Structure 1
Amino acid sequence: MKDERTGTDDRRCLGSERVRPASSLVGPDEPAPLTRRQVRATLWRVNLLAALTFAVVTMSRPLFSVFAVQELGAGATWLGVIAGAYALVPLFLSLPAGGLVSRWGERPLMMAGSAGLAAGLWMAAASPSLPWMVAASLVAGMAQMLMVICTQTLVTSLGEPREREQHLAWFTTATSAGQLVGPLGGGLLADHAGFRATFAVAGLLCLSGLFLARRVHVPPTPGAAPDWRAQAGRARELLALPEMRLAILAAFSLIFSLGVNQSFYSVYVTRVLGFSTATLGMLLAVRAVMALAVRAYMGPLVTLAGGRFRVLFLAMTAGAVALGVTPLLRDVASLTLAAALLGLATGLTMPLSMLAAANSVPAAERGLAMGVRLTGNRLAELTSPLLFGPLAEWVGLGPAFHGAGLLLLAAALLSLRWRHGLDDADRLAGEGRPPRAAGAGRFGTPAFPMWRRRSSAPVRQPGAHRAGD
């Protein structure tokens, strides 16, 4: 049945969300959709904010442990507590934070994240004791988690669905650039001005994030976000969606497998093979530059391969090969090729898994979806050393790398089970249609026979659109 106001077919509705052209989105009590100019301006500001956030984090977080040891006399136990406060607590708060983004919008929480990160760094700069450093690490870790969820949610909500590959390519390129610049600036500043001055300067840089966050344009979100109790149930429902399972599997398996590379690669290159630290730095730089460069061509690669899943599958397979063959390599040329292959896998897998999560849910629940995905990422970061550390000590470095490669390859093969979910999301996005709700069948049609019959009864539209700010 045609809707008299929009001219759209009610049978195309998914769940409670009606498909409407952009021109019909503006009602008497509804915010206007963003213009193309506003989308471009917001995208640039979000990219700059993400680059700034990751630069600040990478220039300051590695210094937390060094500062705690050299100036506060921390032992191994305190170092573990400081690191755990940064990573462990956000593991349990990622899901509630995603719900907050869905309820309150990205702009105020990005401002809160920038302010919280500055506060955590200033606490570290003024830290008189180890418990104070634990508190500073906790505040900074929670603030970074909030920034990650907000920026990812916002950048996957801008523009048309078909533009998201390019938007995410620019976004992840910006974050990679921040990760390249941050350690260099932090190291130089710490050598010349000391740790406390470095933390203070990093905190000042976060204040510019407040200005950027305040000036972003948040797109209107269809429908109202569910309440807290409904969000908890909805998070469980999200895990039943093929696209969400694929997103979590890809990101978790890559981060988990990279744990062996981050823990033992430097030992293998310098101690086992006997290369210099300069060679090690060159290999790490090759991987980082490759991950940065390939993201700029993610959109054309998806088009060339014929879909996002094919690129994701090939990237995961390439990463598995690079990890698995590393212990077999003995010369710089082959190690460089493997590092470049691993950089390609990292550069493509992470943004594509982010896009799969974003396309699996309606816009009002995108923050919750990002929180679910980030929970899996944090879990992988924490559990990977618990497996590969004892494994490397028991059987050696070589089998640990082989095991990581086999694990990532198994994840790539398992992802074939849910490839149709991502293919369907691609098809819906290309047609400008919203993703299906939980419990829906393929192509967004509800998975109940009675919904497949034609009906002339109109589908009621929920309340006014939420501005998101």
Structure 2
Amino acid sequence: MDTRVLALAVYVSGSLGLANMSMMNPLVPLWAARMGFSHGEIGVLIAAGALLPALLSVPAGAICDRWGAQRVMLLAGLGTAMTSVAYPFISEVMLFFWLQLVGGLFRNTGWLAAQAYVTQLGRQGNLTRQVGYFSFATNIGTMVGPWAVGSVADVAGFLPAFAVVGLSGAVLGLIGLFLPAAAGTTPGSPGAGGSWKQAFSLKDYLDGFRLLVYRGIQFVILASFFRLFLVGFVQSFYPVFLETRGFSPAEIGFLLSLASAVSVTTSALVIKLSAWVSKENLLILALVAGIFGLGSTPWWQSLVSYAGAIAFYGLCLGLTLPLLIDLLAAYTRPEQRGLIVGVRTTINGVAGMVSPLCLGLMAASLGLSLAFQVVGLAAGLALAGLYFYGRAHYGRRNWAPLTTDPPL
């Protein structure tokens, strides 16, 4: 495949992989609210979408290394297409729960495969530039997706809106079908194939989590946890909160898309900003500021003020994804990158469960407005602790596995 065509296909796969999840962010909680589910039930349902990714992302990452990320992308895209169109036909909370389990796994695995593929293709000399373009493309998808499905839901109803997500998943699967294996694969190396017994191996979990003995990888994985904790705000009760303030699905989708639109502009700045500030410090600063942007949500009243707050959140979040991917790639050897993406996705899945559950419990007892502020304050304090942890250990011998095996 021509190099430019390959690069375009990889960037589109990232855009669709993350767009599939971002389009479901307003649809799932809004549809659940229309079904009459309580705040506690909505929190559990959103958390269910992250449960299987939390448990199975490590073997999924290992499969990307062993069989090739493009094959995983094909299966995940087709699974996303089939599960997405089933949501409008579900009105029972338990059926909704099971659909969230399976659909969440397919959507997250498609995004994982896209990340693994770009890191497998990346050469260290231009990896920062490649992941910068990749992040730019993913933000395009998250910019267009929520507004598109929100507008479709307003005009035509939720069935066509969920069908848009299904179509996006099908296109992602087609891209995976035509992508070549990563260059240089040979029998027994990543992308060469294997049995199902090899795919789901306890050794993959052990190998993946062995990497966490390095403090640098701990730092990045924990930062990724807090990033997805923030995203969990948006995925769960942010649309529900806005609906209680009288906003339509199209307006809610517009606000979510605005955050991604701002992220598009900031992702391209990472290369320049990281020349002035260390990537680790830039990551923490962006996360802390993003927490403020979301935690201040209950203070505002008009659409314009909400747009300003969510745009500030998007500004901060846009810096974090290329930093996370770049740091993980820099801290690991090429043959470990699918595995470490799986570890990161597992931790992200935990964050995706913890965030809506915390907000749901807080909202049930304190109300949504106060819950946003209390959880945001707690997350900000935790990030301050992570900053001082990284500062104390940065650059020491056990910071990252650059040339030696993990010391276990």
The aligned counterpart of 1:351 is 322
Which structure 2 residues correspond to residues 26-175 of structure 1 after superposition, within 5 A?
Answer: 37-38=2-3, 40-60=4-24, 62-64=26-28, 66-67=30-31, 75-76=37-38, 82-124=45-87, 133-175=96-138
Whether 1:291 aligns to 2:291 is no
User: Can you list the C-alpha shifts for 1:163-214, whole angstroms capped at 9, x where unaligned?
Assistant: 2222222222222221221122212323343333333443234322233222
2:334 maps to which of 339, 363, 368: 363
Go from structure 1 to structure 2 and tell me whether the alpha carbon gap of 1:296 and 1:98 turns closer, same or farther (over 3 Å shift). Answer: same
User: Can you list the C-alpha shifts for 1:82-113, whole angstroms capped at 9, x where unaligned?
Assistant: 43442222221112211221221111111111
2:402 maps to which of 435, 444, 465: 435
- Contact preservation (8 Å) 1:249, 1:415: no
Which letter maps to 2:355?
A: S
TM-score, normalised by the number of residues in structure 1: 0.69
Go from structure 1 to structure 2 and tell me whether the alpha carbon gap of 1:210 and 1:401 turns closer, same or farther (over 3 Å shift). Answer: closer
2-structure distance, mates of 1:251, 1:330: 31
- Contact preservation (8 Å) 1:315, 1:345: yes
**How much does 1:160 deviate?**
1.9
2-structure distance, mates of 1:378, 1:206: 20
**How much does 1:151 deviate?**
0.6
Go from structure 1 to structure 2 and tell me whether the alpha carbon gap of 1:411 and 1:280 turns closer, same or farther (over 3 Å shift). Answer: farther
**Pairwise CA RMSD:** 4.2
Aligned length: 392
- Contact preservation (8 Å) 2:47, 2:356: no
Whether 1:304 aligns to 2:269 is no
- Contact preservation (8 Å) 2:214, 2:398: no
Go from structure 1 to structure 2 and tell me whether the alpha carbon gap of 1:254 and 1:148 turns closer, same or farther (over 3 Å shift). Answer: same
- Contact preservation (8 Å) 2:47, 2:352: no
Go from structure 1 to structure 2 and tell me whether the alpha carbon gap of 1:260 and 1:405 turns closer, same or farther (over 3 Å shift). Answer: farther
**How much does 1:149 deviate?**
1.3
2-structure distance, mates of 1:411, 1:351: 19
2-structure distance, mates of 1:127, 1:264: 20
**How much does 1:162 deviate?**
2.8
Which letter maps to 2:174?
A: F
SS of the counterpart of 2:120?
coil
SS of the counterpart of 1:197?
helix
1:220 maps to which of 184, 195, 205: 184
1:243 maps to which of 216, 229, 235: 216
Go from structure 1 to structure 2 and tell me whether the alpha carbon gap of 1:100 and 1:131 turns closer, same or farther (over 3 Å shift). Answer: same
**How much does 1:80 deviate?**
5.8
The aligned counterpart of 2:352 is 381
TM-score, normalised by the number of residues in structure 2: 0.78
1-structure distance, mates of 2:104, 2:234: 23
- Contact preservation (8 Å) 1:258, 1:404: no
1:407 maps to which of 382, 393, 399: 382
Identical residues among aligned pairs (%): 29
Q: Which runs of 5 or more residues in structure 2 are unaligned?
A: none
Q: Which has the larger radius of gyration?
A: 1
